[in-house]
């Protein structure tokens, strides 16, 4: 016997990936509901070799459904996730709404799978921000070995992290650059994204950082260890899919770059590609459609006592959202629900 699973936001970037990944990983689905807004009622979505028609989330009854994978943004989640949870369906949510609630587990299965066991208090499990998810997969095995004191991270985040309108904006602005009179002004982003980079993701906070940067700090502490200090600069770049991060890590004790490479080679969810030659590293276009978080450019940082630099790339729609959500569902199934 398997599960009755609802994918909420099935017409979106993350929702479509969740459908693909449920099918690819042969998650034990007995019945599947694809839900979106009334606007998309009847839209066809692929689920493996089948096609499912979307239903209206607003009138859907979650009673008798086991798991709902949500990817619809915080405002709509605030209305519908409590309804699903109240009906006894476990919500796995991609928005940032519940991530910082102490009664709601925030889970990356390679890092803190045991946190899933605390799902029952609110019947909701939160999925982290895309930039955090890939970073903590790399940090955790190193933290277990040499205790991380401080992380300095700069991100290079693709437009798919903003949603489908942002993908269109990059595409249309890029095309418009070549046709006089057809330039496309910024609409999703505050400045032109084509052939440009924007050092601003999510809203500004009082201290001058952005909410995206704050999320990386707060979520790393909640998932890995509250004692780790993190400072982040998050930048949007004209890449369709795949987030990249330059990460500088300061450890409590010395750890050699070769040992870091060996630890990461053995770590779950990671592939090390690290040849010190042209092309001997992974770039975002190469990680699209993959499950792994790729680590390259591992090297000692000799400007601090126990420092390591590395480059981390992953498909933000997969490990950063849909894959992690399905992995949480698998973990929940294995550890708690025990069907399938």
Ligand X SMILES: NC(=O)c1ccc[n+]([C@@H]2O[C@H](COP(=O)([O-])OP(=O)(O)OC[C@H]3O[C@@H](n4cnc5c(N)ncnc54)[C@H](OP(=O)(O)O)[C@@H]3O)[C@@H](O)[C@H]2O)c1
The catalytic residue positions are 130, 243
Q: Is the dihedral of CA 274, 276, 280, 285 positive or negative?
A: positive
Neighbours of 75 (CB within 10 A): 9
Q: How far is the CB of 162 from ligand X (least distance, A)?
A: 7
Q: How far is the CB of 168 from ligand X (least distance, A)?
A: 10
Q: Which of 113, 284, 307, 320 binds ligand X (CB under 6 A)?
A: 320
Q: In whole angstroms, how far apart are CA 39 and each of 11, 35, 55, 237?
A: 10, 11, 10, 30
115: its two tokens: 């946190």
Q: Is the dihedral of CA 31, 37, 43, 49 positive or negative?
A: negative
Which is nearer to ligand X, 71 or 292 (by Cβ)? 71
Q: Is 211 in the site for ligand X (CB under 6 A)?
A: no
Stretch that binds ligand X, among 112-120, 185-193, 228-236, 314-322 (CB under 6 A): 314-322
Q: Is 244 in the site for ligand X (CB under 6 A)?
A: no
Footprint of ligand X on residues 9-48 (CB under 6 A)?
A: 9-15, 36-37, 39-40
Q: Is 293 in the site for ligand X (CB under 6 A)?
A: no
**Any residues with CB less than 8 A from the CB of 79 and at least 6 apart, and which?**
none
Question: CA–CA separation, 2 vs 10, rounded Å?
Answer: 20
Footprint of ligand X on residues 255-274 (CB under 6 A)?
A: none
Q: Is 316 in the site for ligand X (CB under 6 A)?
A: yes
3-state secondary structure (DSSP) of residue 154? strand
Q: Is 72 in the site for ligand X (CB under 6 A)?
A: yes
Q: Which of 109, 113, 161, 242 binds ligand X (CB under 6 A)?
A: 161
Stretch that binds ligand X, among 70-78, 180-188, 246-254, 270-278 (CB under 6 A): 70-78
Q: How far is the CB of 9 from ligand X (least distance, A)?
A: 4
Neighbours of 124 (CB within 10 A): 24
Residue 229: its H or E element: strand 229-236
Number of residues lying near ligand X (CB under 6 A) = 27
Which is nearer to ligand X, 32 or 263 (by Cβ)? 32
Q: How far is the CB of 177 from ligand X (least distance, A)?
A: 24
Q: How far is the CB of 299 from ligand X (least distance, A)?
A: 28
Q: How far is the CB of 227 from ligand X (least distance, A)?
A: 26
Q: Which of 95, 142, 92 is CA-nearest to residue 122?
A: 92
Question: CA–CA separation, 219 vs 225, rounded Å?
Answer: 9
Q: Is 164 in the site for ligand X (CB under 6 A)?
A: yes
Q: How far is the CB of 1 from ligand X (least distance, A)?
A: 29
Neighbours of 283 (CB within 10 A): 14
3-state secondary structure (DSSP) of residue 311? strand
Footprint of ligand X on residues 73-132 (CB under 6 A)?
A: 73, 76, 94-95, 130
The partner residues of 299 in beta bridges, in order of sequence, read: 309
Q: Is 288 in the site for ligand X (CB under 6 A)?
A: no
Which is nearer to ligand X, 192 or 324 (by Cβ)? 324
Angle, nearest 10°, between helix axes 13-24 and 323-332? Answer: 50
Which is nearer to ligand X, 52 or 337 (by Cβ)? 52
Nearest position to ligand X, beta carbon: 12
Question: CA–CA separation, 12 vs 17, rounded Å?
Answer: 9
Exposure string over 135-150, b if 16+ CB within 10 A, otherwise e = bbbbbbbbbeebebbe
Residues that bind ligand X (CB under 6 A): 9-15, 36-37, 39-40, 57, 71-73, 76, 94-95, 130, 160-161, 163-164, 316-317, 320-321
């Amino acid at each position: 016997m398997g599960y009755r699973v609802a994918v909420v936001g099935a017409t979106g970037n993350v929702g479509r990936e969740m459908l693909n990944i449920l099918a690819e990983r042969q998650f034990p689905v007995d019945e599947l509901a694809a839900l979106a807004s009334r606007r998309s009622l009847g839209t066809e979505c692929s689920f493996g070799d089948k096609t499912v028609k979307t239903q209206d989330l607003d009138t859907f009854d979650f009673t008798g459904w086991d798991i709902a994978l949500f990817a619809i943004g915080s405002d709509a989640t605030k209305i519908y996730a409590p309804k699903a949870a109240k009906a006894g369906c476990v919500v796995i949510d991609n928005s940032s709404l519940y991530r910082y609630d102490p009664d709601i587990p925030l889970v990356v299965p390679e890092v803190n799978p045991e946190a899933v066991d605390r799902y029952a208090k609110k019947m909701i499990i939160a999925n982290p921000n895309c930039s955090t998810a890939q970073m903590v997969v790399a940090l955790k095995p190193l933290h277990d070995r040499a205790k991380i004191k401080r992380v300095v991270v700069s991100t290079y985040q693709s437009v798919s992290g903003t949603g489908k309108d942002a993908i269109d904006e990059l595409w249309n602005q890029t095309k418009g650059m070549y046709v006089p009179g057809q330039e496309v002004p910024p609409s999703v982003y505050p400045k032109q994204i084509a052939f440009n980079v924007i050092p601003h993701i999510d809203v500004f906070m009082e201290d001058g950082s952005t909410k995206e940067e704050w999320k990386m700090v707060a979520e790393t502490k909640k998932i890995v260890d509250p004692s780790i200090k993190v400072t982040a600069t998050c930048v949007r770049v004209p890449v369709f899919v795949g987030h990249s991060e330059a990460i500088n890590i300061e450890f409590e004790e010395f750890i050699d770059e070769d040992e870091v490479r060996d630890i990461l080679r053995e770590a779950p969810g990671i592939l090390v590609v690290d040849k010190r030659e042209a092309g001997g590293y992974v770039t975002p276009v190469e990680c699209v459609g993959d499950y792994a978080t790729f680590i390259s450019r591992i090297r000692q940082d000799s400007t601090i006592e126990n420092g390591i630099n590395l480059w981390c790339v992953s498909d933000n729609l997969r490990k950063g959202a849909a894959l992690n959500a399905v992995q949480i569902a698998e973990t929940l199934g294995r550890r708690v629900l025990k069907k399938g």
